[in-house]
Amino acid sequence: MKAPTIIALLYGPDQPGLVSRVSSWIFLRGSNIHHADQHKDLEANIFFQRVEWAPSGQIEEEAAAFKKFANEELGMEVKVALSTDRPKVALFVSKTEHCFHDAILRFRAGEMAGELGCIISNHEILRGDTESYGLPYYCVPTSKETKAAAETEQLRIIREHGCELVVMARYMQVLSDDFLKEVACPVINIHHSFLPAFAGGKPYHQAHSRGVKLIGATAHYATADLDEGPIIHQDVTRINHRNAIQDLIRKGRDLEKTVFAHAIRLHLDNRILIYNNKTVVFD
Amino acid sequence: MKAPTIIALLYGPDQPGLVSRVSSWIFLRGSNIHHADQHKDLEANIFFQRVEWAPSGQIEEEAAAFKKFANEELGMEVKVALSTDRPKVALFVSKTEHCFHDAILRFRAGEMAGELGCIISNHEILRGDTESYGLPYYCVPTSKETKAAAETEQLRIIREHGCELVVMARYMQVLSDDFLKEVACPVINIHHSFLPAFAGGKPYHQAHSRGVKLIGATAHYATADLDEGPIIHQDVTRINHRNAIQDLIRKGRDLEKTVFAHAIRLHLDNRILIYNNKTVVFD
Amino acid sequence: MKAPTIIALLYGPDQPGLVSRVSSWIFLRGSNIHHADQHKDLEANIFFQRVEWAPSGQIEEEAAAFKKFANEELGMEVKVALSTDRPKVALFVSKTEHCFHDAILRFRAGEMAGELGCIISNHEILRGDTESYGLPYYCVPTSKETKAAAETEQLRIIREHGCELVVMARYMQVLSDDFLKEVACPVINIHHSFLPAFAGGKPYHQAHSRGVKLIGATAHYATADLDEGPIIHQDVTRINHRNAIQDLIRKGRDLEKTVFAHAIRLHLDNRILIYNNKTVVFD
Amino acid sequence: MKAPTIIALLYGPDQPGLVSRVSSWIFLRGSNIHHADQHKDLEANIFFQRVEWAPSGQIEEEAAAFKKFANEELGMEVKVALSTDRPKVALFVSKTEHCFHDAILRFRAGEMAGELGCIISNHEILRGDTESYGLPYYCVPTSKETKAAAETEQLRIIREHGCELVVMARYMQVLSDDFLKEVACPVINIHHSFLPAFAGGKPYHQAHSRGVKLIGATAHYATADLDEGPIIHQDVTRINHRNAIQDLIRKGRDLEKTVFAHAIRLHLDNRILIYNNKTVVFD
C-alpha cells in the first residue's frame, strides 16, 4: 500500500522563488515531495503548480498548514486534497446509457479516486440497471414549465449525498445558469464532437452533412455558455464515406466513454486547474 | 514491372445491375479486373465506382470504348485514366516552405502518380531552392489592385505547362471565383485546422485561445466559398497547456505536410469522387 | 428497417472473370448488390470476395443456390450468411472482468450481429454479475489434472447452447489443441500486447521492463501455437516513464476492450477471411 | 527574443529535499526557474530532474557553479547546458534518403537546437544533394575487410567537426562496439519497426509475413546490442491486407521521418536521461 499523500493545486500571480518556497516549506517539515509539476503562462504572468508529498506529521494538520501558508504567505489560490479522499460524485443521465455503464464500471473497478453518490435522471429507464449496481436512483422529470422546480430537487439530492462533483453522462437537458451557480461544485459534460466544431445539437448529423473525415468527443466543464466551457480532454476517430449516421453514433460511443472517463479521472486525481476558460492539466 | 491498367471513376443514378454490367463489359473483352470498389449513397440514390483492370487490347482504345459505354449505355459520369498517366501539377506557394519541400521531395521519390510542372509564387524567396530542384519558378506578385492581372498570368503559366491539377502548398492568397472557373481543373488546398473548426485566418491562434487539446489539418478542394470545399483528408495531433503558439505551428507543420501529400496522392491515383460538397475516397 | 440481405465470403484460386460471374449470377436473378469488395493476393494467386445483396426470391433458397454455384461452378470456398442471422456466442472469462462487462453491454446495446449464449469461467467470481445480466453462467474449474475433463465439459456446454463462436475475454487458460479441433468453430482471443512483441505471459511487465513508449492489444484467432494465430485487429496507446505497471494495466484495459469488441463485430458481420495464418478484413 | 537559460539534467540516488535544495540554490542567487520536472523511480530509488532557469549572473559561471553544487553537495550526475548551445551533429546515411532530407530541412528551418556538422555516407549517391544544402559530405566506403579502417576515418571526421551527437538516418551498417566506445557521444538510430517486434533486418517483410495490422518505427540510442538500446520514441500507423510490402515501405517512411526527428529534437533540447537501458523523457 502506498502511504497517504497530500496534493496541492496552486495558482496565482507569478513571483520569483515560488518553486523554492513551496518545496522548502515541505522539506523543512521533514516531508518528502513525490511529484511536483509547474507551469507559467508567460503572457498572463500566472504560476500554476501541482505538488504531491508524503507528510512527516499528522496529515490533515499538515494539509491545513500548507493551505494557510499558500494563501497568506504566497498569496496563491490553493486547493489541498488527500490521496485518500473519496469525494462523492452525482451522475446525471437521460436515456443514452453507454457513458452511464462505462463510468459506473470504472468506479466499481477502482479506477477513480472517488465514489458515485447518486444517479439522477429525467427518465425512469435506467432505474433497474442502477439498482442492480447497488446505487441510489432519482428520477426527476423536467419540462420547460417544471425546470426550475426540477433543478431545486436535483440540488437537494446532490446536497443530501454530499456530492462534490457532477458528471453529465449524456444528460440531454441544459443546466441553467442558476443551477450552475447554486451547485457550487464543478460539472463535467461530455459533448459528442471535437468542439468548437459542431457545437449545439445533433453533432453527428452535422459531421455527416459536412463530410468530415474525423469525428470527435470533448469533455469540458459546464458553464452558462453552452458548449463553451473549459475543455479538459478530446479525442477523435476516423470515418469514411461508407459510414452512415448510425455508424458515426456507434463509433462515437467509444470515444465518448473514454474521453468522459479520462476527464473524470483527471479531475478526481486533482490534476486540473482552470483559468481564462482554459485548463492546465498536469498529467 | 506492373502491366499498365485502366482506371475508371464512375458515378450517377443507381440502377440494378451496374456492378454486373461494368464487370461483364470488361470480362467479355477478355480483360482482367484488378480492383473494383463501389459505394451507394442510399439517401441520394447515387452509385459510385472505381474499377481498375488490365486491358486485353490496345489500352487507349479500350479506355475510350469504356468511356463511351459508361456514358451512353449506363448513363454515368465517368473519368477514365491510365496507370501510366503522369499529369502535370502546378504548385502554388508563398513564403512558408515546409509543404513545398515535402511535396517536391515526394514527387522526386516517385511517391506520386504525376509530375510537378511549375512552381508559382507571389514572392521571390523560394526561387533558389526551386531551381536547385531543377523546376521552373514563376514569381507573380499580387496585390488588391493587380489580383486580376496576376491571376490571368497564373492561368497562362498553368496552361503553358499543361497542368491538370493545382495544389496550394500554403499559398497565402485567396483564389478568386473567376480563377477557379477559368482554370477548369481541380485545386487542392491545405488548411491548418480540423475544419470546420477555426476556419479563416490564424487557426493556430484561434486554437490556442480556445484551449483545445488537439490541433488538426485539412486538405480540401478549393471552391468559391473559402474553407468550405469538399474535404479530402484530415488528421490531428495532441497538444497541451505547455504549448505556445510557436509549438502549435511547429507541430502543425508535420500534420500539414502529411495531410497535404496524402490528398495529392489520392487525387493522382484517381481515388476521389466529389458530390454534394463531399468526397467519396476509395482507399 | 433494412430489408434482409445475403452475405457471401468467397476465396479460392484466382481466374479471369470472377467478379463478373458473381455479379452476373446475382443480377440475372433480379437481385441487387449492395456491397462488393474483393482482394487478390498476387503472390499467392488467391481471390477473396465479400459480396452482399438483397435477394429477389426466397432468401434461404437463393443463399443455398449461390453456395452451390460458388462451389461447383467457380470452384471457390464460400461461407453464406444472412444479415438476419444471430449466431450464438460462448464467452470464456476468468477473474479479470473488463472485457466481460464491455462485451456483454455491447451485445445488449445491439452493436453485435449475434447473441451471447453462455458464459463459461474457471471461477465462480462473475456468477452474480452474469445472472444480473440474465445470462447462463457455467463454472468449470480446471487444473493440470482435470484439464481434459474440463474441456470436455466446456465443449458440451458450447454444443448445448448451439454456439458458433467462442470469444476469450481474458480467459487465463490455454485451450488445448484437441479442444480447438473438437470445437470446430472459430475462437477469438485478446492478447494484451502488440503481437508479436511480448508474446507469452505478463506482457505489461515485459513492456515496462523494455521501456517501450507504446503498449498495445491484439485480437487474433486462437490456434494450437499460442499467440501465433491470425491477427484480426490491433491498437496501441502511448505511455511514458511515469507509468508504473499498474498504469499500463489500466491503460491497457481500454485497448483490450475496444480491440476485442471490434474483432468480434468484424467476425459476426462476416467480414473476415483467413489464409496463410493472416486475415483479409473487408471493413 | 527569449533570454538565455541554463538547463540541468540530474540523476542519482533519491534523498529527501532534493527538489527543495535545487530550487533554493537557484532562488538564493536571485535566478528564476522557468521549468522544473522531476521523476522518481520508486523501485530503483533513483531521482531524475530537468530544471531550466534564467540566471541572475554571468551564465557560464552560474552553470559551472551549479554543476559543482550538484556533483559535490548533492552527489548527483549532472549535465548542464545553455539554451543558446548549438552542438554539432554528424548525420550518417547510406542510400535511403527520406530521413536525410527530412532531418536536414528541419535543421535549416530552425526546428533543432543544434547544427549539422557533416554528412557521412558509405556511398557517393547523396553528395550532390548534400552540397546543394551547403553541407560537407564524406564518403567512407566500408566492407567487412575495411570496416575497422572506415570507422577510424569516421571518428576522425566526427572529431574534426567537433560533433557531439551522431544520428543514423537509415545508415545500413552496424557500428562496432569499439566505435561506440571511441566516439564517446550519444548515437541515435531509427529502426523501421515497433521494437522489440521485428528486430533485425527487413522488418517490413517480417511485418507483412506475420500479418500485423500496425507498422511502426522506433528511435533509440545505439548500443553494442543491435536494436536493444534505450528507446526514445515510437509511433505506428495502420495497414491492411491490401498493402503490399512496397506500401508498407512508403507508409513507414513518414513514420521514420517524424519519429527520428522527434528523437533528435528531444535529445538536443536536453530532455532525455538514460538509465537501466530505458529513457526518462521530460516532454
> What is the tens place of the pLDDT at every residue in B246-271?
999 999 999 999 999 999 999 999 99
CB of D141 less than 8 A from some CB of C: no
pLDDT at B1: 56
For residue C24, the chain B residues in CB contact (below 8 A) are 20, 23-24
Subunits in contact with chain D (3 or more CB pairs closer than 8 Å)? A, B, C
**Helix (H/G/I), strand (E/B), else coil: B76:** coil
Residue A277 DSSP symbol: T
Distance from CA of B54 to the nearest CA of C (A): 11
Catalytic residue set of B: 227
- Domain contains D1: no
B239 contacts chain C (CB < 8 A): no
Domain match, D137 and D78 both: no
pLDDT of residue A207: 95
Is the domain of A264 the same as that of A124?
yes
Q: Are both A225 and A276 inside the same structural domain?
A: yes
DSSP type of residue C3: P
Mean pLDDT over each residue of chain C, to the nearest integer: 96
Half-sphere exposure of A276 (CA within 13 A, CB side): 15
Chain A residues inside the 8 Å CB shell of D16? 27, 30, 32
Asked whether residue D65 falls in the same domain as residue D122, the answer is no
Q: To the nearest whole angstrom, how far is the Cα of A110 from the nearest Cα of chain B?
A: 26
Whether C31 is covered by a domain: the verdict is yes
Spell out the residues 6+ positions from residue A83 whose beta carbon is closer than 8 angstroms to its own: A2, A4, A5, A6, A7, A52, A113
Residue C207: in which H helix or E strand, if any? helix C203-210
Q: Inter-chain contact A23–D27, Cβ cutoff 8 Å?
A: no
Strand A278-281, strand A272-275: pairing: antiparallel
State the pLDDT at residue C122.
98
Any idea what the CATH number is for the domain that residue C63 is in?
3.30.70.260
Distance, in Å, from the CA atom of B40 to the CA atom of B280, rounded to the nearest integer, reads 10
Considering the domain architecture, whether residues C150 and C267 belong to the same structural domain is answered as yes
Sheet with D115-121: list strands edge to edge.
D137-139, D115-121, D88-93, D163-168, D187-191, D214-221, D231-238
Q: At what angle do helices B203-210 and B245-268 cross, to 10 degrees?
A: 130
A213/A94 same-domain check: yes
Q: Are residues C75 and C202 in the same domain?
A: no
Contact between D196 and C213 using a beta-carbon 8 Å cutoff: no
- The answer to whether A20 contacts D36, with C-beta atoms less than 8 Å apart, is no
C109 to A132: CB separation less than 8 angstroms, yes or no: no
Retrieve residue B172's grid coordinates.
Answer: 497565402
Which residue of chain D is at minimal alpha-carbon distance from C245?
A: D43
Q: How far apart are CA D188 and CA D223, in angstroms?
A: 9
Q: Find the closest chain D residue to B104 by CA distance.
A: D101
Name the average pLDDT for chain A.
Answer: 96
Please report the number of interchain residue pairs, chain C to chain D, with beta-carbon separation below 8 angstroms.
78
Tell me the per-residue pLDDT of C180-203, one tens digit each, with 9 for 90 and over.
999 999 999 999 999 999 998 899
Q: Which of C111, C132, C254 lies closest to A258 in CB terms?
A: C254
Which pLDDT value is given to residue C186? 98
Helix (H, G, I), strand (E, B) or coil at D43: coil
Predicted pLDDT at D1: 56
Of D97, D105, D258, the CB nearest to B101: D105
Give dist(CA B37, CA B108) in Å, integer: 30
Mean pLDDT of the A121-128 span: 97
CATH number at residue A234: 3.40.50.170
Q: Do A97 and C111 touch (CB under 8 A)?
A: no
User: Active-site residue among A225, A227, A235, A254?
Assistant: A227
Q: What is the DSSP string of A97-117?
A: -HHHHHHHHHHHTT-SSSEEE
Q: What is the pLDDT of residues C69-84, one digit of tens each?
A: 999 999 999 999 999 9
Same structural domain, A59 and A97? no
A130 to chain C: closest CA residue: C132
Long-range contacts of A198-206 (CB under 8 A, 24+ apart): A198/B196, A199/A226, A199/A227, A199/A228, A200/A226, A200/A227, A204/A245, A204/A248, A204/A249, A204/A252, A205/A245
Give the percent of chain B with pLDDT over 70: 100
Query: Vertex D20, ends D15 and D23: CA angle to 5°?
Result: 130
Å from A10 to nearest chain B CA?
16
Q: Give domain status of residue B219, yes or no.
A: yes
What range defines the domain where residue D57 resides? 6-82
Q: Do D19 and A34 touch (CB under 8 A)?
A: no
Confirm whether A1 is domain-assigned. Answer: no
Tell me whether residues C111 and A250 touch, CB distance under 8 A: yes
Enumerate the residues of chain A whose CB falls inside 8 A of the CB of residue B244.
Answer: 42
- Residues of chain A with Cβ-Cβ distance to C258 below 8 Å are 254
**Can you list the alpha helix ranges (DSSP code H) found in chain B?**
18-28, 59-68, 98-108, 127-132, 147-160, 177-183, 203-210, 245-268
Q: From the candidates D15, D22, D23, which should be mutated to test the interface with A, based on the most A CB atoms within 10 A?
A: D23
Q: Between these two residues, D168 and B224, which has the higher pLDDT value? A: D168
User: What pLDDT is stored for residue B81 in this prediction?
Assistant: 98
Residues of D in contact with A35 (CB under 8 A): 38
Is B164 contained in some domain?
Answer: yes
Q: How far apart are CA B168 and CA B191, in angstroms?
A: 10
Residues of C in contact with D283 (CB under 8 A): 240
Using DSSP, state whether C84 is helix, strand or coil: coil
Beta bridge partners of A49: A10, A38
Whole-number percent of chain D with pLDDT over 70: 100
Are residues C19 and B21, on separate chains, in Cβ contact within 8 Å?
Answer: no
B197: distance to nearest CA of chain A, Å? 5
In angstroms, rounded to a whole number, what is the distance separating the alpha carbons of residues D210 and D201? Answer: 15
D20 touches chain A (CB under 8 A): yes
Q: Which chains touch B (3 or more CB pairs under 8 A)?
A: A, C, D
Instruction: Indicate whether D72 belongs to any domain.
Output: yes
Task: Please tell me if residue A245 touches chain B, with a CB cutoff of 8 Å.
Answer: no
Residue A175: name the closest of A139, A222, A231 by CA: A222
Q: Which residues pair with D116 in a beta bridge?
A: D89
Torsional sign, CA C273, C279, C280, C282 = positive
C255 touches chain D (CB under 8 A): no
Interchain contact, B277 vs A211, CB within 8 Å? yes
- For helices A98-108 and A245-268, the axis angle rounded to 10 degrees is 30
- Final residue in a domain of this structure, among B141, B165, B184: B184
pLDDT at residue D26 is higher than 70: yes
CB contact under 8 A, B216 and A214: yes
Averaged pLDDT of chain D: 96
User: Does A2 have pLDDT greater than 80?
Assistant: no
Is 60 exceeded by the pLDDT of residue A105? yes
Which member of A16, A23, A38 has the closest CB to residue D32? Answer: A16
Give the closest of D23, D38, D40 to A20, CB-based. D23
pLDDT at B200 (0 to 100): 87
| pLDDT, tens digit, 9 for 90 and up, residues B37-55 | 999 888 889 999 999 999 9
C-alpha cell, A120: 439522477
d(CA D10, CA D270): 11
pLDDT digits (tens, 9 = 90+) for A14-56: 998 999 999 999 999 999 998 999 998 888 899 999 999 999 9
- Residue B2 pLDDT: 75
Return d(Cα D204, Cα D30) in angstroms, integer: 55
Residue of chain C whose alpha carbon sits nearest to that of D234 = C213
Give the residue numbers of C annotated as catalytic, written as ranges.
227
**Nearest of D20, D88, D78, D82 to residue D50 by alpha carbon:** D78
The answer to whether the Cβ–Cβ distance between C39 and D241 falls below 8 Å is yes
Domain identity same for A129 and A198: yes
Give pLDDT tens digits for D119-131: 999 999 999 999 9
The tally of domains found in chain A comes to 2
Best to test chain A binding among D1, D18, D19 (most A CBs inside 10 Å) = D19
Mean of pLDDT values over D88-111: 97
Residues in chain D within 8 Å Cβ distance of B250: 111
Q: Do D109 and B97 touch (CB under 8 A)?
A: yes
Determine whether the interchain pair A195/B214 forms a contact, defined as Cβ–Cβ distance below 8 Å. no
Q: Nearest by CB to D101, which of B97, B105, B132?
A: B105
C-alpha cell at C11: 476465396
Q: Tell me whether residue B1 is in a domain.
A: no
Final residue of a domain: which of D48, D82, D116?
D82
Residue from C1, C238, C254, C265 to probe the interface with A (highest A Cβ count within 10 Å): C254
User: What DSSP state is assigned to residue B26?
Assistant: H
Residues C67 and C151 both lie in one domain:
no
Task: Identify all chain A residues contacting B42, using CB atoms and an 8 Å cutoff.
Answer: 244
Please check the confidence at residue D141 and state whether its pLDDT lies above 80: yes
Taking the CA of residue D202 and the nearest CA in chain C, the distance in Å comes to 15
Boundary of a domain, candidates D82, D97, D121:
D82
Which chains are within 8 Å of A by 3+ CB pairs? Answer: B, C, D
With CB atoms and an 8 Å threshold, state whether B213 touches A231.
yes
Q: Cα(B212)–Cα(B202) distance, rounded to whole angstroms?
A: 15
Residues 186-215 of A with CB under 8 A from B: 194-198, 210-214
Number of Cβ atoms within 10 Å of the Cβ of C16? 15
The pLDDT value recorded for residue C200 is 87
- Mark whether B116 and B163 lie in a shared domain: yes
Could you tell me which residues come within 8 angstroms of residue A140 by beta carbon, excluding any fewer than 6 positions away?
A120, A121, A122, A150, A153, A154, A157
For residue B241 the three cell numbers come to: 497547456
Do the domain assignments include residue D11? yes
Question: Would you state the pLDDT for residue A1?
Answer: 56
- Check whether residue C137 and residue C263 sit in a common domain: yes
What is the average per-residue pLDDT within D151-162? Answer: 98
Residue of B nearest to C22 (CA): B20
